Amino acid sequence: MLLSSSAYFIFLIAIFFLYWVVARSRALALAAILFGNYFFYAKWDIFYLFLIPAASTVDFAIGLGLGREKKRWARRALVGTSVAWNVGLLAALKYMPFFLENWSAWTGQPKPEWHWSFPLGISFYCFQALTYTLDLYRNDAKATSSYLAYLSAVSFFPTTLAGPITRVAALLPQLERKDRELSGEEGGRAVFLIGLGLMKKLLIADYLGANLVNRVFDFPNLYTGMEVLIAVYAYALQLYYDFSGYTDIAIGSALLLGIKLPGNFKMPYAAESVPDFWRRWHITLSNWLRDYLYFSLPGLRSKWKILTYMNLVITMVIGGLWHGPNWTFVVWGLLHGVGLGATRAWQVWRGNPRPNQAWWAKGSRIFFTAQFVCFAWVFFRASSMENAWAVLARIGSMSVSFANISAPIAMVMGIALVAHYTPAGWYKGLSGIFVRSPFYVQAAAMALLLLAIHYVAATGAAPFIYTKF
Amino acid sequence: MIRLPSKTTLTIVAFGAILGLADVVPALRDYKVMDWRTIPGVLDFVDRRPSVDPELEERQRLRPETNPYKQIRYPILDPKHTLDSFYQALLQTEGKKQGEVVRILHYGDSPTTADLITSDTRVLLQKQFGDAGHGFCLVAKPWAWYAHRGVDLDGSGWEIDPANQSTVRDGLYGLGGVSFRGGAGATARIRLRDRGHRSIEVAYLRQPGGGQLRAEADGKELGVVNTDGAVRGSGFARFRIPEQTRVITLQVMNATVRLFGVLLSKDVPGVMYYSLGVNGAYVSVLARLMNEGHWREQLRHYRPHLVIVNYGTNESAYPKFVDYVSEKETLEVVRRIRKALPDTAVLVMSPMDRGQRMTDGEISTVPAIPRLVAIQERAARESGCAFFNTFEAMGGMGTMGRWYEAEPRLVGADFIHPMPAGAKIVGGLLYQALIDGYNKYKLRLLRKRTMVASN
């Protein structure tokens, strides 16, 4: 059930009414959310109905242990078990085919069969679950004694498929509070975000994907170097609008139930450096990697400064691999790790000077950062390393023709670029106007949007790119 | 007490009511975007796990019977048994008699250019009848998309003229529809992954003032080809190559040399399947753009047992061409081949399905495709050729939509070019159809012999 499908919105409306009808009772409200969570998982595969409760129960029990246990070694053992359990789940359900394939390639042995592949949303689930036990271990949060609240939080359906990765400790107080209510302003903002997300996804991301990006990445050799280069830029826009569209719908859906989720994007292609990009792109993942992985790696305070750079690379390679069992993601992570390390080394060498604020200097930094990010996206999008080389080789051929870049494609890319660089304040202003509008205006605006999507997009909803990770 | 958020509830209810207006107000019927019948579908818990092997599933869907004698196959339509000469050649090759080589020429558009489909059929036929060599390939890549399985090409210094994008426009494009003009230093490197090849044959244009070309195998000179001649005409230079040869190099030594391609052969009986694709090609490439006399020379030199004419995907974007020109052009191609090779079998192979996205988001078949397939079938019947309906064999209307939905996909996002797994399915279907025909030929032969014996 995609977040942009009509089935999802029918489901969401049903959960909305169910939740608010029983909202006065804490237990019933949590049960309504838990029902929604497991219904959502079951729509993908009934097996999740066994997997997710079992996985959550283990972490809940570990959480109870961490809440009571004071001995250092016991706490280490408990958190170690939680890490092993979640990483083991990820390895078994998502990465095993990749491991077996590489093992087979290296040893020359036939690849053993593996039928336990349930990759959907499992990366997000495991990372979200780990925030709970790791926060408890670090005494950054308190353990909940409510099994129901924990189950509702750790598998909260709007975040299931593609985040935003939300700390369970941040969700729990919102789910457990007694004074549940949804103001007209919050409800309006939720509806606005859902509408905005649908526009981003169906009018921009899917259009660029279906009409240019997928075609070029399928068969780069059928296109000129310039067309392939434009397709890479189009992919950068597609990915942003797809993922940020998903995030808007997820945040809006949660907000309809009175739950606030963290934001995930801040105009990422306006980043002036690679570290700046990671403060603007998939913010909840970069925060997770920084807080739970990078800070946990040994050597952070070592006199051997090289370890800091190595840790950056290791963190980003693991972050890359988290996106999927494919060497292309490893290369993508490696590129960003090296980019982050090189930027830090440069800044240290120059004594952390304040960047030149002249428009041309800022513009150059934004331009070159965007080029680096787009170059790395080639590996992120490519189906294999061969495919990535084919794309880069075509760009390197420098052949020029724009025959496959139709006027509508150019127009959608232009709109997408302008919309991306539009100041956030403008969106806030627009959201304010929508929120203050009477209910019938809001309803009419949403109906008009749906009509526009129906007639303009006409490509059917493609799966969200980030739900594959 | 119930705590429904009033404004948001009203927004949702009003939103539903506005959508519902299209169902009750006739004037708004065209603006209906919500299909209320989909609501029960929310409770549908079908397994959505991606297929582990979509290629296998598609094969099983096309041939659900496990018993090979009951499998649903789309046979080659050949009521007059015009393919018998080809089947006879196959029969002799199957006996592994020295020197018995069956040569198949497959003319087509972009999938053929990338050796998709053709390479799969080649592999299957060579597995059964023997591998007599890779066959014909161009000396460099006219398009980045050009590829031959088992052969890597690398060329520099050539002016390349595909028949449909040529600047010379003299119709002299050799067997493969592409000519390569190069001055001193122009080089072609052909890397062979299969080291069993024992000879090469360079196809060139003999012409007044033609230059010389040096041929090398793994750096050792094989000989020099002089392309100078009193009159323009097809020239061929054959060289033996040492065992285990990996790289063939052709280099222009002086003046200008015009090449058409190179033939890679082994010394063993078997099948040679020439993949002769031109990017963006349509049937008129053979009917009009290739000089008839020159092409005839080429066809007679290579002496194929079967010529497959496989166009239509590019034509399908031009309905008027399909309706008013394609039949005439197909008949003209058959006439040209017949004139060159009166005893050679000709198979008209229809295009695959071609999808397009409709306004409701569905991917359906381009309307001209079924019409074109019918026209080709009629042209084949009228001209006494065999016909293979690729479109129906792969599943007919809407196949590309289904292939696009498969995970991993069997067709690219243009709904035209098959992914390697999709091409393998089509290559397998063609192979199966050829083998069905061949088996039926053997049965007929057996019956004939039995009748003669009983008489």
Domain boundary among A121, A148, A181: A181
Across the A/B interface, how many CB contacts are shorter than 8 Å? 136
Predicted local distance difference test score (pLDDT) of residue B32: 82
Portion 286-345 of A in contact with B at CB < 8 A: none
Asked if residue A219 and residue A79 are part of one domain, the reply reads no
Predicted local distance difference test score (pLDDT) of residue A270: 96
Q: Which of A222, A440, A460 sits opposite B14 (nearest CB)?
A: A440
Helix, strand or coil, per DSSP, at residue B243? coil
The reply to whether A414 falls in a domain is yes
Helix, strand or coil, per DSSP, at residue B215? strand
Nearest CA in chain B to A190: B8
- B17-46 pLDDT tens trace: 999 998 888 888 888 888 888 888 888 776
Segment B46-52 mean pLDDT: 56
Share of chain A above pLDDT 90, in %: 68
Predicted local distance difference test score (pLDDT) of residue A94: 84
Name the pTM for this structure. Answer: 0.83
Give dist(CA B398, CA B396) in Å, integer: 6
Nearest-neighbour CA in chain A from B188: distance (Å)? 18
Contact B11 A11 (CB under 8 A): no
Asked if residue A201 and residue A172 are part of one domain, the reply reads no
Contact B2 A214 (CB under 8 A): no
**Mutation choice for B interface testing from A221, A397, A401 by most B CBs within 10 A:** A221
Residue B59: pLDDT above 50? yes
Query: Does any CB of chain A come closer than 8 Å to the CB of residue B10?
Result: yes
Query: Does any CB of chain A come closer than 8 Å to the CB of residue B359?
Result: yes
Using DSSP, how many helices (H) and how many strands (E) does chain A show? 22, 0
CB B3 within 8 A of CB A180: yes
The ipTM assigned to this model is 0.86
The reply to whether A393 falls in a domain is yes
Segment B356-379 mean pLDDT: 90
How wide is the angle at C-alpha B207 spanned by C-alphas B203 and B211, nearest 5°?
80
**Residue B47: pLDDT band by 50, 70, 90 thresholds?**
low
Please report residues of A whose CB lies closer than 8 A to that of B420. none
Closest CA to A419 of A181, A110, A208: A208
Asked if residue A250 and residue A134 are part of one domain, the reply reads no
**Residue B65: pLDDT band by 50, 70, 90 thresholds?**
very low
- B254-284 pLDDT tens trace: 999 999 999 999 999 999 999 999 999 999 9
Give dist(CA A144, CA A138) in Å, integer: 15
**Mutation choice for A interface testing from B11, B39, B52, B411 by most A CBs within 10 A:** B11
Residue A77: pLDDT above 80? yes
Helix ranges (H only) for A324-422 are 327-349, 359-381, 385-396, 407-421
Cβ contacts of residue A441 below 8 Å, gap of 6+? none
Is the bond preceding A97 in cis, omega lying within 30 degrees of 0? no
Predicted local distance difference test score (pLDDT) of residue B5: 87
Question: Helix crossing, A26-44 with A6-21: angle to 10°?
Answer: 160
Report residue B39 as tokens.
């609501």
**Residue A357: pLDDT band by 50, 70, 90 thresholds?**
confident
The reply to whether A285 falls in a domain is no
Q: Please compute Rg for chain B using Cα positions.
A: 27
Please report residues of A whose CB lies closer than 8 A to that of B152. none
Which CATH architecture group holds B57-132+268-455? 3-Layer(aba) Sandwich (3.40)
The reply to whether A91 falls in a domain is yes
Residue B297: pLDDT above 50? yes
Give rounded-to-5 percent helix, strand, coil for chain A: 75, 0, 25
- B115-160 pLDDT tens trace: 999 999 999 999 999 999 999 999 999 998 899 999 999 999 999 9
Asked if residue A173 and residue A192 are part of one domain, the reply reads no
Nearest-neighbour CA in chain B from A277: distance (Å)? 30
Asked if residue A174 and residue A246 are part of one domain, the reply reads no
The chain-wide mean pLDDT, for chain A, equals: 90
- B72-97 pLDDT tens trace: 568 999 999 999 999 999 999 988 77
Predicted local distance difference test score (pLDDT) of residue B70: 43
Predicted local distance difference test score (pLDDT) of residue B409: 86
Contact A458 B359 (CB under 8 A): yes
The reply to whether A428 falls in a domain is yes
Asked if residue A194 and residue A160 are part of one domain, the reply reads no
CB atoms within 10 A of CB B266: 18
Closest CA to A409 of A220, A270, A195, A233: A233
The reply to whether A442 falls in a domain is yes
Give dist(CA B131, CA B149) in Å, integer: 14
Share of chain B above pLDDT 70, in %: 93
Query: Does any CB of chain A come closer than 8 Å to the CB of residue B43?
Result: no
Is the bond preceding B342 in cis, omega lying within 30 degrees of 0? no
Query: Does any CB of chain A come closer than 8 Å to the CB of residue B24?
Result: no
Predicted local distance difference test score (pLDDT) of residue A229: 97
Catalytically active residues of A, by annotation: 323
Q: Domains of chain B: which residue ranges?
A: 6-43, 57-132+268-455, 133-267
CB atoms within 10 A of CB B455: 5
The chain-wide mean pLDDT, for chain B, equals: 90
CB B179 within 8 A of CB B250: no
Cβ contacts of residue A17 below 8 Å, gap of 6+? B4, B9
**Residue B110: pLDDT band by 50, 70, 90 thresholds?**
very high
Q: Which residue has the tokens 């509070």?
A: A177
Q: Which of B3, B9, B13 sits opposite A23 (nearest CB)?
A: B3
Give the count of alpha carbons within 13 A of A163, CB side only. 29
Predicted local distance difference test score (pLDDT) of residue A257: 94
CB A123 within 8 A of CB A469: yes
Asked if residue A426 and residue A412 are part of one domain, the reply reads yes
Q: Which of A21, A442, A454 sits opposite B2 (nearest CB)?
A: A21
Predicted local distance difference test score (pLDDT) of residue A315: 95
Contact B3 A20 (CB under 8 A): yes
**Which one has a higher pLDDT value, A456 or B178?**
B178
Domain boundary among A121, A151, A181: A181
Top mean pLDDT of B87-96, B214-223, B397-406 is at: B214-223
Domain boundary among A151, A181, A211: A181
Segment B98-113 mean pLDDT: 93
Residue A330: pLDDT above 90? yes
CATH class of B133-267: mainly beta
Report residue B395 as tokens.
């599943």
Predicted local distance difference test score (pLDDT) of residue A299: 73
Asked if residue A371 and residue A247 are part of one domain, the reply reads yes
Give the residue numbers spanning the domain of A46. Answer: 6-181
Residue A460: pLDDT above 70? no
Asked if residue A39 and residue A139 are part of one domain, the reply reads yes
Report residue A231 as tokens.
């397709």
The reply to whether A159 falls in a domain is yes
Share of chain A above pLDDT 70, in %: 96
Give dist(CA A297, CA A221) in Å, integer: 42
The reply to whether A223 falls in a domain is yes
Helix, strand or coil, per DSSP, at residue B233? strand
Residue A119: pLDDT above 70? no
- A264-291 pLDDT tens trace: 999 999 999 999 999 999 999 999 999 9
Length of chain B equals 455
- The total domain count for chain A is 2
Please report residues of B whose CB lies closer than 8 A to that of A219. 145, 412, 414, 417
- A176-225 pLDDT tens trace: 888 778 888 999 999 999 999 999 998 999 999 988 999 999 999 989 99
Report residue A147 as tokens.
């099994």
Report residue A174 as tokens.
């919102």
Residue B343: pLDDT above 90? yes
Predicted local distance difference test score (pLDDT) of residue A73: 93
